[in-house]
Amino acid sequence: MSIHKEGYKILAFSLIGLVLINVLVQVIWSGSPLIKWTFLICSVLVFVFTLFFFRFPARKIEPDPGLIYAPADGKVVVIEETLENEYFKDMRLQISIFMSPFNMHSNRYPVSGRIKYVSYNPGHYMAAWHPKSSELNERSSIVIETKGGAEILVRQIAGAIARRIVTYAKKDQEVVQGDELGFIKFGSRVDVFLPLGTEVEIPILQQVKANKSIIAKIG
Q: Which SS3 state, helix, strand or coil, does residue 138 take?
A: coil
Q: Which SS3 state, helix, strand or coil, does residue 186 take?
A: coil
171 to 71, 135, 190: CA distances (angstroms): 19, 22, 19
Residue 97: Cβ-neighbour burial (10 angstroms; 0-12, 13-18, 19+): buried
57 to 6, 42, 103, 213: CA distances (angstroms): 14, 26, 12, 15
* Separation of first and last alpha carbons in the chain: 34
> CA-CA-CA-CA torsion for 81, 100, 150, 118, nearest 10 degrees?
110
What distance in Å separates the CA atoms of residue 134 and residue 194, rounded to the nearest whole number? 15
Please check whether residue 187 is in contact with residue 99, taking contact to mean a CB–CB distance below 8 angstroms: yes
188 is catalytic: yes
Catalytic residue among 106, 134, 140, 188: 188
Q: Which residues are catalytic?
A: 188
